[in-house]
Chains A and B, each alone.
Chain A
Amino acid sequence: MYRYTEFDQSIVDQRVAQFRGQTERYLAGKLSEDEFRPLRLQNGLYVQKHAPMLRVAIPYGLIDTRQLRMFAQIARTYDRGYGHFTTRQNIQYNWPALDRVPDILADLASVQMHAIQTSGNCIRNTTTDQFAGIAPDEVVNPLAWAEIIRQWSTIHPEFAHLPRKFKIAINGARADRAATLVHDIGLTALTDQVGSIGFRVAVGGGLGRTPIVGVVVREFLPWQDLITYLEAILRVYNLTGRRDNKYKARIKITVKETGVAEFTQRIEDEFARTKSGPTRLTRETVEAISARFTQATYATLPEDDAGVVTLSASNSEFARWLKRNTHAHRVAGYAAVTLSLKRKGVPPGDATADEMDAIALLADRFSQGELRVTHEQNLVFADVEKRELPELWRELKALGFASANIGLIGNIIACPGGDFCSLANAVSIPVAEAIHDRFESLDYQFDIGELDLNISGCINACGHHHVGHIGILGVDKNGEEWYQVTIGGAQSIAINGNDTARIGKIIGPSFARADVPDVVEKLIQTYLGLREREDERFVDVVARTGIEPFKENVYAEAN
């Protein structure tokens, strides 16, 4: 956790005061709907179908238990007793009253949190790998860099009215767990031959209406230049991004229409002019920010724990949980644990206030009082001693967070969809539930193996359907809900030895809601028939065979 200084605290406190004034002016009729809209959006407040929705930032997914308890308290005091963890490492409340939102923001500020720029045409919450800092395959810990980006982007005066929203992701491990290539800017922290830190910079990736994989504009940007370079990209985009059509306003379209070479040249020109200016980072700054992060303390432990080995040999349920829901840690004798928020009858990513409090207790007991929110809408305890895994598993099982479905079809990623969101064309949660029920058997899930299934209720793609191995998109056809299916997408897949993102391909005409579980079933059966090895995943088979065999099977009966 980054712990605020008084300087940081002052900024969030004054932001609350500013928004309180703006809300009062709006309620008093002194600000029009149009004038208030960007102000409320940049403070996380949407107007949804039933009520306003407040999106709170969880910067790069990291929170401590004091903050989680505040989420619970807010859910109880201002909402209907629950919150929804999102695909962008935020939490959303679906039922706050507009006039109470400044109070919610003040409560958040009291635990060093905010909802600044979680919406609107500005730089959004920067996201990262949920295993940042503890992953064995990590090259550079991205957390301090993510915090520097958070500070730089917070209330940046020049970039508060961009052509469109702007999302930055940063990853520092060999595997890209932050889906950097489908962000407006994707940063990969790495080191050069002499061990100096730098960043590979990709620009213009994104999902939504025009899914596209970002292009690398810099292979190695020295760390001192990080903010200056980001600023150069934002400045070029702010001046040249389209403002005449919101569907063509994202930087991916600017890059496409300008041409990669020309766009890169403009960034480089602007960067060359500002390179030695005040935005150049110093070692003191980076060290001071790094030093504000809490450090986990580790005991000296053997790599494997005998109790864990014994239990997993005798208890297959524990063994499965161990396989799917625990993850390697860079420190011997430790593991990271994913709490699955994908449960029968509960929308993906939802948790009640009581559950949040219970999770906070467990995080205090088992993971040094901190946890992470993942872009797959789950929670992670990052620093668990392996010898405590059996006990933690029992506790999580009692709470219902021990489904061994991480990385499997049961770990469905879905936006709130038409039940809540006014943008949606179709519902997502009932579709997720129907698929969840169909594939409830864990035996079946394990047999299918690794599979990301993502559902978005509309083309805005909050459920990241384009990068699901199976993606389901709600579409509107003459006022009816239909679902388009894509396969072969991946947020990160090794192609010729390099990790890249891949956009799924549409298999054909869309389906009625009731047919979606059958369609998924047919896709799975096709895969199981084509699979050549146990470890050949669904997405690998699609990459090998193309979509044709899947398409044939799915549409066979109709013909």
Chain B
Amino acid sequence: MPKLIDHSGERTGDPWITYAGDAHAIPAGACVILPLTEFREFAGTWKNHAKALGVLLSPSDSLELIANDLDKLRLIAIDFPVFTDGRGYSLAHALRSRYGWRGELRAVGDIQQDQIYLLTRSGFDTFALRDDQRANECVAATDDFTHAYQWGADRFGARPGPQVRYGA
């Protein structure tokens, strides 16, 4: 299990289990994260077994495919296959600002300290860290900057975030 953090610290007891093709590995009444294709085809079935549903998006997924199902979801995870793939930032921004998603938005995959600030500002609120990452340093990185020029999607979240305005 990767370490999970939010802006306030390490999160223990994460209830979410990611479905990876083996339904037997998922106990009844669990909180389950489904890949997009699985969610689209079998959300109805899973709804009966699971306590709550989340969906896992890859960077190339279109948000239109879940736009009408957001009320069925409690969590959206976006995968970063490599940290230099920046599509997830725009997906997160769109989910928060365009689609009005206010539930948990989790960054998963190749997630390291040096992305945390950018991810936070793009609207992510939890981070499943790569195994070698240190939780305390990653938590601290959410505050790398106290001032910022851009209206980020973090303004929709619980965390106050940096002070945002133009310089003058």
Contacts and interface: CB of A to CB of B under 8 A. Distances in A.
Contacts of B84: 38, 121, 161
B98 interface: yes
Contact of B114 (A10, A22, A155, A273): A22
Contacts of B150: 152, 155-158
A411 to B, nearest CB: 35
Interface in A151-185: 151-152, 154-163
Given A238-B90, A288-B168, A289-B168, A11 B148 contact: yes
A35 interface: yes
A109 to B, nearest CB: 14
Nearest to A234: B90
Contacts of B148: 11, 155, 157
10 closest residue pairs by CB, A with B: A161-B86, A157-B121, A8-B167, A288-B168, A278-B151, A157-B118, A151-B149, A158-B89, A292-B168, A289-B168
Given A4-B167, A159-B86, A238-B89, A154 B114 contact: no
Interface size class of A (residues with CB under 8 A): 35 or more
Interface residues of A, dominant DSSP? helix
A525 interface: no
Contacts of A152: 149-150
A441 interface: no
Contacts of A151: 149, 166-167
Contacts of A292: 167-168
A15 B94 CA distance: 26
Interface in B127-168: 144-152, 155, 163, 165-168
B90 A154 contact: no
User: Interface range on chain B: under 10, 10 to 19, 20 to 34, or 35 or more?
Assistant: 35 or more
A277 interface: yes
Nearest to B119: A157
A152 B149 CA distance: 6
Query: Quick one: which of B122, B155, B163 has the most chain A CB within 10 A?
Result: B122
A48 interface: no
Interface of A: 4-5, 7-8, 10-11, 14-15, 18, 22, 31, 35, 38-39, 121, 148, 151-152, 154-163, 235, 238-239, 243, 273-274, 277-279, 285, 288-289, 291-292
Given A35-B83, A279-B151, A292-B167, A157 B112 contact: no
B18 interface: no
B147 A11 contact: yes
Nearest to A293: B168
Contacts of A162: 86
A18 B117 CA distance: 11
Contacts of B147: 7, 10-11, 14
Nearest to A291: B168
B166 A148 contact: yes
A487 B155 CA distance: 52
A158 B118 CA distance: 7
A239 B147 CA distance: 27
B167 A238 contact: no
A160 B89 contact: yes
A158 B122 CA distance: 6
Interface string B83-113: 1111101110110011000000000000010
Interface in B46-103: 83-87, 89-91, 93-94, 97-98
B166 A239 contact: no
A273 B167 contact: no
A157 B122 contact: yes
B68 to A, nearest CB: 17
B167 A14 contact: no
A210 B144 CA distance: 38
A152 B167 CA distance: 10
A25 to B, nearest CB: 8
B90 A239 contact: yes
B87 A238 contact: yes
Max chain A C-beta neighbours (<10 A), residue from B85, B114, B163: B114
Contacts of A277: 97, 151
Contacts of B120: 157
Contacts of B98: 273-274
A289 B120 CA distance: 27
A235 B144 CA distance: 24
Contacts of B166: 148, 151, 285, 288-289
B168 A158 contact: no
Q: Which of B118, B145, B149, B168 has the most CB of A within 10 A?
A: B168
B135 to A, nearest CB: 15
Given A35-B112, A273-B98, A278-B151, A157 B168 contact: no
Nearest to A152: B149
Contacts of A274: 97-98
A152 B146 CA distance: 16
A5 B117 CA distance: 23
Contacts of B151: 277-279
Contacts of B85: 161, 243
B86 A160 contact: yes
Count chain B CB atoms within 10 A of each CB in A156, A279, A288 and give the residue with the most: A156
Given A22-B114, A161-B84, A11 B149 contact: yes
A235 B167 contact: no
B93 to A, nearest CB: 5
A38 B82 CA distance: 12
Given A10-B147, A11-B147, A158-B89, 14 more contacts: A5-B167, A7-B163, A11-B148, A11-B149, A14-B145, A14-B146, A38-B84, A151-B166, A155-B145, A155-B148, A157-B120, A161-B85, A278-B151, A289-B166
Contacts of A158: 86, 89-90, 93, 118, 121-122, 150, 152
A285 B149 CA distance: 12
B136 to A, nearest CB: 13
A203 B118 CA distance: 26
A434 B85 CA distance: 44
Contacts of A5: 167-168
A291 B168 CA distance: 8
